[in-house]
Chain A
Amino acid sequence: MKSRHHVEALLWVVALVSGGFVLFFAVRGMEYRARSSELVTRSEAKASPGLMQVSLPLQSQPPSQPQSQSSADRNILGRIEIPSLHLSAAVMSGYDATSLLEGVGHIRGTAMPGGLGTVGIAGHRDTFFRPLRKIMPRMQILLSDKTGTYSYSVDSTEIVTPDKVDVLNIGSRPGLTLITCFPFDYIGAAPNRFIVHAHLLSVSPEPLVSLSP
Chain B
Amino acid sequence: MRILTVAACATLSLAITPLFAAQQKSSTDFTISSPSNVPGATLPSGSYSIHVVNRLSDRYIVQVDSSDGAVHSTFLGIPSSKLPRSSNSGIVDWSNSVKGSDYLRGWKIAGMSSAVEFVYPKTEAVNIANANQAKVPAIDPASDGLAADPTLSPRDMKLVTLWLLSAERVGPSGSAPSIKAERYDEVAGNTQKPVMASLPHTASALPLLWLLSACSTFAGAILCFFRRRQVSTGVAITLERNR
Q: A-side interface residues toward B, CB under 8 Å?
A: 4-5, 7-8, 11-12, 14-15, 18-19, 21-22, 25-26, 95, 100-101, 105, 107-112, 115-117, 119-120, 122-127, 129, 160, 162-174, 179-181, 186-190, 193, 200-204
Instruction: Pick the residue among A117, A180, A204 that contacts B144 (CB under 8 A).
Output: A117
Count chain B CB atoms within 10 A of each CB in A15, A101, A172 and give the residue with the most: A15
* Minimum Cβ distance to chain B for residue A209 (Å): 12
Residues of B contacting A11 in the complex (Cβ-Cβ under 8 angstroms): 216-217, 219-220, 223
Q: Are B206 and A179 in contact (CB under 8 A)?
A: no
Q: Are A19 and B144 in contact (CB under 8 A)?
A: no
Instruction: Pick the residue among B194, B199, B220 that contacts A162 (CB under 8 A).
Output: B199
* Minimum Cβ distance to chain B for residue A197 (Å): 14
* Minimum Cβ distance to chain A for residue B204 (Å): 4
> Contacts A166-B194, A203-B179, A203-B181: A189 and B201 contacting too (C-beta < 8 A)?
yes
Residues of A contacting B209 in the complex (Cβ-Cβ under 8 angstroms): 18, 21-22
Q: Are B143 and A8 in contact (CB under 8 A)?
A: no
Q: Are A171 and B203 in contact (CB under 8 A)?
A: no
Residues of A contacting B165 in the complex (Cβ-Cβ under 8 angstroms): 203
Binary interface encoding of chain B residues 163-181 relative to chain A, with 1 for a CB under 8 A from any of its CBs, else 0: 1010010100000011111
Q: Are A115 and B140 in contact (CB under 8 A)?
A: yes
Using a Cβ cutoff of 8 Å, how many contacts connect chains A and B?
A: 170
Complex-state Cα separation, A12 to B194, whole angstroms? 48
Q: How large is the interface on B (under 10, 10 to 19, 20 to 34, 35 or more residues)?
A: 35 or more
**B192 contacts partner chain A, Cβ-Cβ < 8 Å:** yes
Q: Are B196 and A101 in contact (CB under 8 A)?
A: no
Q: Are B143 and A126 in contact (CB under 8 A)?
A: no
**Closest 8 interchain pairs by CB?**
A115-B143, A111-B143, A109-B195, A117-B143, A116-B140, A15-B216, A11-B220, A202-B178
Selected A-B contacts with CB under 8 Å, 9 pairs: A21-B206, A109-B145, A116-B138, A122-B199, A126-B207, A162-B199, A173-B181, A179-B199, A204-B126
Q: Are A200 and B181 in contact (CB under 8 A)?
A: yes
> Contacts A22-B209, A172-B185: A120 and B195 contacting too (C-beta < 8 A)?
yes
Q: Are A165 and B200 in contact (CB under 8 A)?
A: no
Q: Are A14 and B216 in contact (CB under 8 A)?
A: yes
Residues of A contacting B210 in the complex (Cβ-Cβ under 8 angstroms): 18-19, 22
* Minimum Cβ distance to chain A for residue B142 (Å): 6
**B213 contacts partner chain A, Cβ-Cβ < 8 Å:** yes
Residues of B contacting A22 in the complex (Cβ-Cβ under 8 angstroms): 206, 209-210, 213
Residues of A contacting B203 in the complex (Cβ-Cβ under 8 angstroms): 124-126, 181, 186, 188-190
Q: Are B142 and A122 in contact (CB under 8 A)?
A: no
Q: Which residues of B201-243 are within 8 A (CB) of A?
A: 201-204, 206-210, 212-214, 216-217, 219-220, 223-224, 227
